[in-house]
């Protein structure tokens, strides 16, 4: 028996498509503001652009993410953010102080990425109060 180099159907599905690559590159270049906008400019139909997860949850998209944003590199940068500092002028010379606002943003993102952040906290909490008058 001879070995063939033909790809199976499953292997074809794991490679990023041209549209996925185009949408990914648009997102990385800051030429678009949302995933949906990137999908439209990449040639996806509006119905797909309204639900970007149809693309971003595919194996091809995940391969692009791993190739250009590997987990170890993201973790390194994220750790740097958790130790963020800023220069503040208190007197004649600037002092380096912790940047608590930046640290909070990185910490919040870490919890979201690990799915440890409560969904309710991500949403605006509107409370409806019913007032009865007598």
User: Structure pTM?
Assistant: 0.57
Please report the pLDDT score of residue 37 as a whole number.
93
Please report the pLDDT score of residue 87 as a whole number.
92
CB 68 within 8 A of CB 23: no
d(CA 128, CA 134): 19
**φ/ψ of residue 125, rounded to 5:** -90, 100
Query: 57 pLDDT exceeds 70?
Result: yes
Highest mean pLDDT among 28-32, 50-54, 110-114: 50-54
Q: How many CA atoms lie within 13 A of 40 on its CB side?
A: 12
State mean pLDDT over 47-75. 89
| 3 state DSSP class of 110 | helix
| 3 state DSSP class of 89 | strand
Query: 40 pLDDT exceeds 80?
Result: yes
Tallying the residues shown for the chain, one arrives at 134
| 3 state DSSP class of 78 | helix
State mean pLDDT over 65-76. 85
**Residue 97: pLDDT band by 50, 70, 90 thresholds?**
very high
CB 100 within 8 A of CB 84: no
């Amino acid at each position: 028996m001879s070995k063939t180099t033909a790809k199976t159907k499953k292997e074809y599905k794991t490679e990023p498509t041209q549209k996925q690559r185009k949408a990914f590159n648009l997102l990385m270049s800051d030429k678009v503001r949302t995933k949906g906008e990137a999908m439209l400019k990449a040639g996806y139909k509006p119905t797909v652009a309204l639900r970007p997860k149809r693309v971003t949850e595919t194996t091809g998209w995940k391969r692009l993410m791993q190739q250009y944003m590997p987990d170890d590199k993201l973790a390194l940068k994220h750790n740097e953010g958790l130790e963020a500092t800023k220069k503040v002028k208190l007197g004649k010379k600037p002092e380096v102080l912790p940047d608590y606002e930046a640290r909070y943003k990185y910490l919040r993102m870490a919890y979201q990425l690990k799915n440890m952040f409560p969904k309710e906290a991500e949403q605006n909490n509107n409370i409806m109060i019913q007032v009865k008058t007598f």
